Copies of this chain bind each other. A is one copy, B any other.
Amino acid sequence: MQKGFTIWFTGLSSSGKKTLSSRVHLKLKELGVTNVEVLDGDDARTFLSKGLGVTKEDTDTGVLRLGWVAEILTKHMVPTLVSSVSASRFARDEVRRMIEHTGGKGSFVEVFVDCPVDVCSGRDEKGAYTKARSGELKHLAGVDEPYEEPHRAELHIKTDHVGPEEASALILDHLRSHGLI
């Protein structure tokens, strides 16, 4: 029977979280793991985070809320892929605690999608950095808000050196070697 687990892709805007999540999703599908849920900070915003602002407290609340949903899904044996900047170490560690409490040790896989801010800013897929420069957007992680790097991520992937194919293979290896697939 499929085990429940959550892969949490954390990193700066445009660091490559969603690309990596999509690639892992595809690989899981090819392996016959078809009941995967993909949660994205942006997609979830419509329902989950409506009304929340950009202060640290509000973004922490958004991360914990996404974590709460991932915890329920993990409990019901649904492999869940979450892409979320989640710059706060406290919030990520809280989510880890919640998910491991429900899904057991190893059920939370934190993937640090690491990419220098100038490279991310050059990609600027959502225009976040442009908005931050013009002052339209405040509290952007890596610009005027700290991104607290993970201390104990299960995987640390430098997306300016490792392509999505290689990176997703590393993640699948981790899932296999930890008996999650």
Q: Do B47 and A64 have beta carbons less than 8 Å apart?
A: yes
Which A residues fall within an 8 A CB radius of B? Answer: 35, 37, 47-48, 50-52, 58, 61, 64-65, 68-69, 72-73, 75-78
Q: Do B50 and A61 have beta carbons less than 8 Å apart?
A: yes
Q: Which residues of B contact A51 (CB under 8 A)?
A: 51-52, 58, 61
Shortest A173–chain B CB gap in Å is 26
**With the chains together, A37 CA to B72 CA distance in Å?**
8
**With the chains together, A144 CA to B151 CA distance in Å?**
51
Q: Which residues of B contact A52 (CB under 8 A)?
A: 51
**With the chains together, A68 CA to B37 CA distance in Å?**
13
Q: Which residues of B contact A68 (CB under 8 A)?
A: 47-48
